[in-house]
Amino acid sequence: FSSDAVVELAAKGKYYDDVAITWACDDTTGAAAIADGKLTIVVPDKEVTVKVTATVVCGDVTETKTFETKLSKSITSIKDLLTLGAAQESYTAEKYIAGGIITEIQNDQYGNIVIKDENGDSILVYGTFIDGKKYGDFEGTKPVVGDYVVVVGVVGQYKGTAQMKNADITSIL
């Protein structure tokens, strides 16, 4: 996250009403807090890593999943990435950080995803990796449409369209 945000948190399963979900946040800096079913984020001046934990209960089974995300004002807006990418003849040597909600998964094997930021700007991320594995080869929980992700990758253009490429998904929320 690069700007303040409020994220609605699910209290029950998407497909099963008998699945209860509770949330906790480890932040002590005031950058992130959970109340009334919402995660409120106030991005601090210095980078902070926040862990948000979901506890899912269905009958006698309880599972937890922790999401780790960095809060930093150093995330580049998608609008700026589009401008930068359009100006490139090749891809940048430097990697850039972007964040947004997945609006489309164009390829399940390579993890070609489209993300949209809080300003409504979208960019194609061509090829994603999770924990060093190609999206399609990753055996854990993969991000899906509607998830907020933070990606780190190079920026350029392909056939006149700006995009990110070979990006690591560093956070899923």
Instruction: Give the range among 2-11, 75-84, 92-101, 112-121 with minimum mean pLDDT.
Output: 2-11
For the cut 60, the answer to whether the pLDDT of residue 126 exceeds it is yes
Res 43: pLDDT = 80
Mean pLDDT, to the nearest integer, of 27-54? 88
Task: Find all residues with CB under 8 Å of 46, minimum gap 6, and list them.
Answer: none
Q: For the chain, what is the mean pLDDT?
A: 89
pTM of the model: 0.59
Res 132: pLDDT = 86
DSSP bridge pairs for 22: 55
Q: Report how far residue 19's alpha carbon sits from residue 21's, in angstroms, rounded to the nearest whole number.
A: 7
Q: Report how far residue 164's alpha carbon sits from residue 173's, in angstroms, rounded to the nearest whole number.
A: 20
Distance of CA 21 to the CA centre of its chain: 20
For the cut 90, the answer to whether the pLDDT of residue 16 exceeds it is no
Distance of CA 120 to the CA centre of its chain: 15
DSSP bridge pairs for 156: 163
Q: Report how far residue 31's alpha carbon sits from residue 51's, in angstroms, rounded to the nearest whole number.
A: 11
For 43-91, write each residue's pLDDT tens digit.
887 778 888 999 999 999 999 998 877 777 677 889 999 999 999 989 9
For the cut 60, the answer to whether the pLDDT of residue 95 exceeds it is yes
Distance of CA 37 to the CA centre of its chain: 19
For the cut 60, the answer to whether the pLDDT of residue 142 exceeds it is yes
Res 148: pLDDT = 93
